[in-house]
Amino acid sequence: MVTSLAGRAESRTQAKILGLLRDEGPLSRAELADRLVVSRTTVAAETARLAELGLVSDAGPAASRGGRRSTLVDLGSGLRFAGIDIGATSVNVAITDGRLTVLSRASEEIDVKVGPERVLALALELTRKLAARQEVAKLAGAGIGVPGPVDFNGGLPVSPPIMPGWDGYPVRDTMARELGCPVLLDNDVNLMAMGEQHAGVAKTAPGFLFVKIGTGIGCGIVIDGQLYRGVDGCAGDIGHMRVEDFGPICACGNTGCLEAFFSGSALARDAMSAARGGRSPVLEERLREQGTLTAEDVGIAAAHGDPQAIQMVRDGGRRIGQVLAGLVSFFNPGLIVIGGRVAMLGHLLLAEIRGGVYRRSLPLATSNLPVVLSELGEEAGVIGAARLISDVLYAVR
């Protein structure tokens, strides 16, 4: 089947119909009229037009509500979004349907430091390959995440510390031109938070914090179901919060930053040092075999009961917990989700984080506060990216 998606919603009512169908699945015209507080005649006219545009289609008979049996309306089966998650060391792409279910995914390693031309070329190549495999003639839209601060309205990265060459590069507009569809750009952590809200553990949480522990550390802030970006769009930059007066020098030039103590790169550094210093037999052996060590090796060594590796995870969890305890006192969130590749260290890490949060925050703020691991893992970013663009096209925000 070749998807030929002619149009986009032409009115706010049309967009709102699409939004309801995305989040709740097929609905009858009567239900749509009730939910949107408009007449059934309006719904009939608007869904007819959406069907012409290929954006909705009929989906069998609805359950009877008395009277004439009506037909369910569903999102057009040809609606396709792309979610593109550019990380520090890889590009992840997914094609989703209109309800943001991932249909296919591809990822490839690349260092974001090689600059925007090469990274975006790879992102385009992966997207086009997936679209061709799925026989998508035209994408409805694409969301893109990058690992650094973003000027959301301008669609470009702003002084991103780990992305040399990307400062001010018109990522959104370049990709929109290449893909021929609407594109939005955001910080990768914000997108992971949106992904977790759409399809993960934060589905029913109106307000929560999503903490990504990857190469660096960042935080997505959701208030009343919406991302909070701060006045300059750089809210959530918790990797550079101070945990000690002294400590390893951070990429930002300061000492004592959280992510200089605990993050993917900090763990790799400490693992190398432990292996070379003979303090961890397991890491020493893995270094001999692989030539290098990453945060994952620390997780494997900890799972093997290596005391040094376990200590690294616990120290890191304690420091994350300490910072989060402060944020709980300040922000009083309803849920904290821990994600990112380093979060895959799992329950040993989570236990330390929880200990720190519950020990230090105001009792009132923690009495109903779950601190949990991400449910979506690597998919959080691409689902969030698709959600970002669909929110706009469906006028959910």
Per CB under 8 A, 387 contacts a second copy: no
Return the residue of 240, 286, 341, 354 that touches a second copy, per CB under 8 A.
Answer: 240
Radius of gyration, alpha carbons of the chain: 23
Helix (H) or strand (E) holding 146: strand 141-146
Per-residue interface string for the shown chain with a second copy, residues 189-228, x marking contact by CB under 8 A: ------------------x-----------x-x-x----x
Of 221 and 383, which CB lies nearer to a second copy in the complex structure? Answer: 221
The gap from C-alpha 159 to its chain's centroid, in whole angstroms, comes to 21
Per CB under 8 A, 354 contacts a second copy: no
Residue 179 one-letter amino acid: L
Q: Is 311 helix (H, G, I), strand (E, B) or coil?
A: helix
Per CB under 8 A, 159 contacts a second copy: yes
Tell me if 236 sits within 8 A of 189, measured CB to CB.
yes
Tell me if 306 sits within 8 A of 275, measured CB to CB.
no
Per CB under 8 A, 325 contacts a second copy: yes
Return the residue of 123, 126, 194, 235 that touches a second copy, per CB under 8 A.
Answer: 235
Return the residue of 254, 273, 290, 292 that touches a second copy, per CB under 8 A.
Answer: 254
Looking at residue 242, the DSSP 8-state letter turns out to be: B
At closest approach, how far in Å is the CB of 207 from a second copy? 6
Q: Near a second copy by CB under 8 A, which window of 47-55, 103-111, 275-283, 358-366?
A: 358-366
Of 134 and 311, which CB lies nearer to a second copy in the complex structure? Answer: 311
Per CB under 8 A, 137 contacts a second copy: no
Tell me if 279 sits within 8 A of 309, measured CB to CB.
no
Q: How many residues bind a second copy, per CB under 8 A?
A: 42
CB atoms near residue 70 (< 10 Å): 19
Looking at residue 249, the DSSP 8-state letter turns out to be: B
What are the backbone dihedrals phi and psi of residue 210, each rounded to the nearest 5 degrees, phi first? -110, 115
Residues numbered 8 to 67 that lie near a second copy (CB under 8 A) are none
Q: Near a second copy by CB under 8 A, which window of 43-51, 75-83, 136-144, 237-245?
A: 237-245
Tell me if 235 sits within 8 A of 246, measured CB to CB.
no
Per CB under 8 A, 326 contacts a second copy: yes
Distance (Å, whole) CA 56 – CA 75: 4
Of 200 and 218, which CB lies nearer to a second copy in the complex structure? Answer: 218
Q: Who's near 64: CB < 8 A, 6+ residues apart?
A: none
Q: DSSP string of 32-94?
A: HHHHHT--HHHHHHHHHHHHHTTSEEEEEEPPP-SSSPPEEEEE-TT--EEEEEE-SSEEEEE
Residues numbered 333 to 352 that lie near a second copy (CB under 8 A) are 333-334
Of 234 and 344, which CB lies nearer to a second copy in the complex structure? Answer: 234
Per CB under 8 A, 358 contacts a second copy: no
Q: DSSP string of 261-306?
A: HSSHHHHHHHHHHHHHTTS-HHHHHHHHHHSS--HHHHHHHHHTT-
The gap from C-alpha 354 to its chain's centroid, in whole angstroms, comes to 22
Per CB under 8 A, 102 contacts a second copy: no
At closest approach, how far in Å is the CB of 310 from a second copy? 21
Per CB under 8 A, 321 contacts a second copy: no
Binding site for a second copy (CB under 8 A): 149, 158-159, 207, 219, 221, 223, 228-238, 240-242, 252, 254, 322-323, 325-327, 329-334, 360-365, 367-368
